[in-house]
Structure 1
């Protein structure tokens, strides 16, 4: 007996995949860009082992403006990825002061985001042998910003991988950190 089967569907590897962000994600990024109440700061770091350098960068997103700053840190001895992320937070806080002084309209809140999942626990340990000095400098910079602008709400939070994907602002900080680590800072 002869039975006729339907044609099997094409394999997953041959199906077209949309690589870009969805329309909802694009709308979310536009909303962040034009938000006049909240400034978002994305931080990232990169390591270049041959030269023992950290490249750190921050992307400031507020009121239609995106500003990316980067810096290079040298360190003798072993390089720790988490230390680079803590240095990126310090870099963001130091440059945040300059960025706020040039603004005519200040945001109501500032959210500084890092891709270290345990950033809250890390900022509690000022006695740590590797991160302690940098964490103490972060606390000092936070206190200076809160003293100069008491009406601002400043928060440091974790940026999960789902929020990192298709995020051009985080990607700008990531690329600037890589360039800084590779000695391509202008």
Structure 2
């Protein structure tokens, strides 16, 4: 059993990013060919008020955006919130590429919503019609995106760990409610 000061040292060591994670973050930041977009969503005390956070990374720049989204009937539904965050990122994408970033060859949107990788292939994402309608809107935006190659990917634990850009999106979604972490 670990006690006292030793436990604190272990906790601090665990929070220090690995060299590999630092290199990955720097590589993403200065990648001119791929614009990476990290999204996250949080909810205010199960009230149907969602915070959406988006972080754009590439070409030596980062941009973090956030907004509130209200939907009382779908309160406590994290899948809905994550899909709304992806939709928000897609809405921002054209504007961001016009004013902040040069046009990349590829855009990858990362979400920690487990079923998101099957968005293109599955006819229905969940059993809830509201979520499937929103997923259908995203598919249309995805298919009619003439800007560049677009990919929506699942972000597993390994990709989330020591990822400052995901953390920025996560914090942005929570700061709307005055929450941290």
**Tell me, what secondary structure is at the counterpart of 1:131?**
helix
2-structure distance, mates of 1:153, 1:120: 15
Q: Offset of 1:103 from its aligned partner?
A: 4.9
> Displacement of 1:12 after TM fit?
5.1
Paired with 2:91 and 2:25, the residues of 1 have a C-alpha distance of 25
Q: Of 8, 22, 25, which residue of structure 1 is paired with 2:18? A: 22
Q: Which aligned pairs between 1:77-156 and structure 2 lie closer than 5 A?
A: 77-79=73-75, 80-103=77-100, 105-122=102-119, 124=122, 125=124, 128-144=128-144, 146-147=145-146, 149=147, 152-156=148-152
Query: CA 1:38–1:104 in structure 2 vs 1: closer, same or farther (change >3 Å)?
Result: closer
Select the structure that is richer in helix.
Answer: 2
Q: Give the Cα separation in 2 of the matches to 1:133 and 1:113.
A: 20
Q: Within 5 Å, give how 1:3-42 maps onto structure 2.
A: 14=6, 16-17=9-10, 18=13, 19-42=15-38
Unaligned stretches of 5+ in structure 1? 1-10
- Given that 2:119 and 2:139 are in contact with CA atoms closer than 8 Å, whether structure 1 keeps it comes out as no
Contiguous gaps of at least 5 residues in structure 2: none
Largest Rg, 1 or 2:
1
Number of residue pairs matched?
A: 169
| Whole-angstrom CA distance in 1 between matches of 2:2 and 2:33 | 43
- TM-score, normalised via structure 1 length: 0.81
How far did 1:76 drift? 2.0
Is 1:161 aligned to 2:119, yes or no? no
